[in-house]
Amino acid sequence: MIKNILVPVDGSASSDRAVTQAISIADLCESKLNFLYVANINQLAINACLSDAILAAVRKAGDVILERAVNMVPSDIKYETFSETGSPAVTILDFEKQIKPDLIVMGSRGLGLVKGVLLGSVSQYIVEQSTCPVMVVK
């Protein structure tokens, strides 16, 4: 039984397609969708001296991405949204250990600029390290 699905979202086209697939599965299996956005503060060079204003702006960007995912969900499907900060790959895996979903549905690629590679670093890490089934959506 797929009761809980973890859907890590970064606002990319691939992530949007993952949301669509996750909704179809949730519809069939009456699962709950758990959307997770990780604000990648490690990517900012000035990590050590981030002002509250910058952190607030980063979180706001995440809220917009989560909001877009939520807007795709039909009203009869249960969902929850989560926002974390840190390295996306490690944080998604930590979160998986916390909520123990039955399935992870995520995009193969994200917002990264390198083209022509099947998997991004986040999807590759999760496929390798996760202890639950992972559906990677192209």
**Tokens encoding 17:** 């397609």
In the complex with Mg ion, the residue whose CB is nearer, 21 or 124, is: 124
CA atoms of 64 and 104, how far apart (whole Å): 21
User: Which contiguous run of DSSP H or E holds residue 123?
Assistant: helix 121-129
Establish if 120 lies at the interface with ligand ATP (CB under 6 A): yes
Per-residue binder mask for ligand ATP (CB under 6 A), 52-91, x = binder: ------------------------------------x---
Indicate which single residue of 52, 114, 116, 131 sits in contact with ligand ATP (rule: CB under 6 A): 114
DSSP state of 47: G
Instruction: Sort 77 into a burial class: Cβ within 10 Å, 0-12 / 13-18 / 19+.
Output: middle
In the complex with ligand ATP, the residue whose CB is nearer, 22 or 31, is: 22
Instruction: State in angstroms the smallest separation of the CB of 120 from Mg ion.
Output: 5
Establish if 101 lies at the interface with ligand ATP (CB under 6 A): no
